Structure 1
Amino acid sequence: MHILFLTDNFPPETNAPASRTFEHAREWVAAGHEVTVITCAPNFPNGRVFCGYRNRLWQQEDMAGIRVIRVWSYMTGNEGFALRILDFVSFMLSSFLAALFVRKPDVIVGTSPQFFTTVAAWAAGAIKRKPFVFELRDIWPESIRAVGVMEESRALDLLEKLELFLYRRAAAVVSVTHSFKRNLISRGIDENKLDVVTNGVDSSSFHQIPKDAALAVELNIEGCFVAGYIGTHGMAHALETLLDAAAILQDDPQAQHIRILFLGHGAARNGLMARAEELGLTNVIFRASVPRNAVPAYWSLLDAALIHLRRTELFKTVIPSKMFECMGMGIPIILGVEGEAAEIVRQTGAGITIEPENSQQLAEQLKTLSCEPQTLKEMSSAGVDAAQRYDRTALARSMLTILKRVAK
């Protein structure tokens, strides 16, 4: 079977969509299938092309047996909603044109979070008369409303109609959460075409490792209790909550051993750094994004991982993919997300949950856990056990079964 996959994120980018697509495609190739990925030159999150690449009309490479075609797109960092839409639309057009030159695919997959990529996959499938599969990573454009990027308007209503059109035209919709599936059923999408393949963890990359002593010295955190947020610093994450908790802890004589580490980029990063300076925080450390193979070293420093989203009804349907990486590495989770993600953490015992945007509760839990090594050890073991249920290899096989069914 020849799988054609359209995604605007792919390694060497290190975000969740890039990792999921690569790890799935790698397993499909290992299973004897042909995989072609159409993407753009790597540029996330800053909108600047990575070293060794150029933003050209067409360039091609082989990555772990995957044929990777990179096409031109307009690139921007987090510089406003209008420019981001221009970025999305440009890739939609160039990926669609590139897909027309890919010979004899059996199935065409387009992945969100934004759905312009799936528009290209649908259009290519319609012209080539091949089934189109929508991989649903986010309920978009509803997530735009949730973070307040754009006010209610006719444009949002039109985007929502396009969203529903794509679900209906898809031969299958592969959702990353059960909550997303229920959302689509409630909006009239045929349940028989909906499948769930959650995010997971590549156990070959994310497993328990000793603390990186040299990095701990470099960051001046030896002997400290380190809680960390690793990932995109976006508007959806409400990371001001973490800074407010840090301010509370900084004024507490019994919490002077606690540090909060931020690693990553995103639209909110500069504002967070400015706020930390304004508050005079000395217990917070910021580090820019690093290559994916360097991320585990930072994970190794953490006594607890902080995973947080803004408090809104939509985010109760979201399962942050970094949860599974934390489980695989045996890092206890402090989760500020309600809904399906919180249920997973509670059921597995891999961490604790807090109310989103509650800085006081976060500070209290950090202070408590920093003095309970046995509790942390139990959470670590529970997370490692739970990670086996979310092994990326098994999940890739589940999605492959869906693609085979659709291709037939």
Structure 2
Amino acid sequence: MKILVVCQHYKPEPFRIADLCESLVKDGHEVTVVTGVPNYPEGKIYAGYEKKQNRNETLNGVKIHRCFTIPRKSGVFFRVLNYYSFSLSSQHYLSRFEEDFDVVFVYQLSPVMMASGALKYAKKHRKKVVLYCLDLWPESLIAGGIRKNSLIYKIFLHKSRRIYSRADTLLMASQSFESYFRETLKISDHNLQYLPQYAENVFDKIPMHSTHEPPYNFLFAGNIGGMQSVETIVEAARMLSSNEKIKIHVVGSGSEYSRCKALAEGLPNITFYGRQDIEKMPSFYTMADAGLVTMKADPVISLTIPGKVQSYMAAGLPVIGAIDGETVTVVNKANCGICVPSGDAAGLADTMRRLADNPESLVEYGRNARLYYQKTFRKQIFMEHLLKVLTACANSE
């Protein structure tokens, strides 16, 4: 198949979409990606992409075109500019794009407007659109501080409903999304399918611990933004600062990186490493005894499962969370860790302390994590499901 992929973010930005596209190419498909200029999460354009450099390139067999994008920098104003600059520039580019494809695939992160260009192309060329929803709109606005009764929310409710309803198939990264699509967005006549995220193959090749010995290493790996509540981990580290058996490692960057690192200054048991390339991540996962996941207390955020959860489980790491909602459901179902409520630093600290005093439970949770991942989230399962959907849309009239 010839597949047109539209997503505002792509390699070298840290999103799974690149691994997905490269896997499609390895399977013999032709993939073209329309994306933005890389600047996430720090909000600065990556080296090698300034001044219109590398707007067209091919990476590991994937053809890439990067549309004009204003970097997100910091603050709401620049984030809005970032969102709309890609939405408008990709619509302009795709309105004149004449290459023929079998199907259009949208990997929808925030904002939902990143799908607009794909929908325009599909309508003009009479192609089907498969939209994979990872961030639920307009609910994501509430997590960002927009009130539900505000004019902004109402505008984006209409806009989101219009975009989602124009897709031919909606894939959902979380089962909790379905009720929102049907009840709030009133999208009931669409093909809604649950397709949970997978972890890159590098993670399920990491050797599992058969025993655990002090010091016990707890790893947080991923974006450090306002939604991730990494300050909860820092506060837990403060409560554990005299416990020499526990070490915390934070790998990643984002808008809250500097603030969280400053909050941890002077604490002997927590280390910040900044963002690391995925090729370096196995060394951190091999060192870790368990993975940490934290998110803000928010009914919208709780609907999602952070992608790091699948990575931890693939690597056979117990999942230790200060988080609510869908992640708690998965962890409990898999019996692969312990979750306390979002923002509960004392509960998180107590959980780490209890695990350090009972390392046998780390072995059991880790084993359960990998078994559940292989049964439910494995990459092969994801790719087979996605290809079945894409093929059906490509072959339909």
Query: Does the TM-score normalized on the shorter chain lie above 0.5?
Result: yes
Contact 2:202–2:282 under 8 Å retained in 1: no
Deviations 1:67-116 (A, max 9, x none): 12222211133x11121111111111222233232500222222223112
Q: Structure 1 residues 35 and 46 mapped into 2: Cα distance closer, same or farther (>3 Å)?
A: same
Q: For residue 218 of structure 1, what is the aligned residue in structure 2?
A: none
Counterpart amino acid of residue 93 in structure 1 = L
Q: For residue 50 of structure 1, what is the aligned residue in structure 2?
A: 46
Deviations 1:354-404 (A, max 9, x none): 111111111111101012221111111111212213112320221121122
Normalised by the length of structure 1, the TM-score is 0.89
Q: For residue 246 of structure 2, what is the aligned residue in structure 1?
A: 258
Q: Counterparts of 1:72-111 in structure 2 under 5 Å?
A: 72-77=68-73, 79-99=74-94, 100-110=96-106, 111=108
Counterpart amino acid of residue 123 in structure 1 = K
Instruction: Look up the SS of the partner of 1:235 in the other structure.
Output: coil
Q: Counterparts of 1:320-335 in structure 2 under 5 Å?
A: 320-335=306-321
Does residue 311 of structure 1 match 2:297? yes
- Determine the C-alpha separation between the residues in 2 that align with 1:271 and 1:185: 39
- Determine the C-alpha separation between the residues in 2 that align with 1:55 and 1:183: 41
- Determine the C-alpha separation between the residues in 1 that align with 2:147 and 2:64: 34
Match of 1:38 among 34, 37, 40: 34
Instruction: Look up the SS of the partner of 2:259 in the other structure.
Output: helix
Identity among equivalent pairs (%): 25
How many angstroms does 1:136 deviate by?
0.8
Q: Counterparts of 1:1-400 in structure 2 under 5 Å?
A: 1-14=1-14, 18-19=15-16, 21-56=17-52, 59-77=55-73, 79-99=74-94, 100-110=96-106, 111-148=108-145, 153-187=150-184, 188-209=186-207, 223-250=214-241, 252=242, 255-277=243-265, 280-388=266-374, 389-400=376-387
Does residue 406 of structure 1 match 2:393? yes
Instruction: Look up the SS of the partner of 1:101 in the other structure.
Output: coil
Higher deviation after alignment, 103-112 or 173-182: 103-112
Q: Structure 1 residues 58 and 93 mapped into 2: Cα distance closer, same or farther (>3 Å)?
A: farther
How many angstroms does 1:166 deviate by?
0.9
Instruction: Look up the SS of the partner of 2:38 in the other structure.
Output: coil
Normalised by the length of structure 2, the TM-score is 0.91
- Determine the C-alpha separation between the residues in 1 that align with 2:136 and 2:383: 22
Instruction: Look up the SS of the partner of 2:135 in the other structure.
Output: coil
Contact 2:165–2:190 under 8 Å retained in 1: no
Contact 2:42–2:255 under 8 Å retained in 1: no
Contact 1:330–1:383 under 8 Å retained in 2: yes
Deviations 1:312-367 (A, max 9, x none): 21223111111111111111110222222211111212211111111111111110
Higher deviation after alignment, 359-368 or 89-98: 89-98
Instruction: Look up the SS of the partner of 2:342 in the other structure.
Output: coil
Counterpart amino acid of residue 26 in structure 2 = A
Contact 1:113–1:136 under 8 Å retained in 2: no
Counterpart amino acid of residue 146 in structure 1 = A
- Determine the C-alpha separation between the residues in 1 that align with 2:382 and 2:208: 27
Counterpart amino acid of residue 228 in structure 1 = L
Q: For residue 216 of structure 1, what is the aligned residue in structure 2?
A: none
Aligned length: 388
- Determine the C-alpha separation between the residues in 2 that align with 1:331 and 1:54: 38
Q: Structure 1 residues 73 and 102 mapped into 2: Cα distance closer, same or farther (>3 Å)?
A: farther
How many angstroms does 1:47 deviate by?
2.4
- Determine the C-alpha separation between the residues in 2 that align with 1:387 and 1:210: 14
Contact 1:24–1:392 under 8 Å retained in 2: no
Counterpart amino acid of residue 372 in structure 1 = N
Deviations 1:284-334 (A, max 9, x none): 211210112112222222211110111121223111111111111111110
Q: Structure 1 residues 395 and 155 mapped into 2: Cα distance closer, same or farther (>3 Å)?
A: same
- Determine the C-alpha separation between the residues in 2 that align with 1:335 and 1:55: 42
- Determine the C-alpha separation between the residues in 1 that align with 2:10 and 2:216: 34
How many angstroms does 1:152 deviate by?
5.3
How many angstroms does 1:52 deviate by?
3.3
- Determine the C-alpha separation between the residues in 1 that align with 2:314 and 2:390: 27
Contact 2:112–2:160 under 8 Å retained in 1: yes
Contact 1:27–1:397 under 8 Å retained in 2: no
Higher RCO structure, 1 or 2 (CA under 8 Å, sep 6+): 1
Contact 1:29–1:35 under 8 Å retained in 2: yes
Q: Which runs of 4+ in 1 moved over 4 A?
A: 149-152
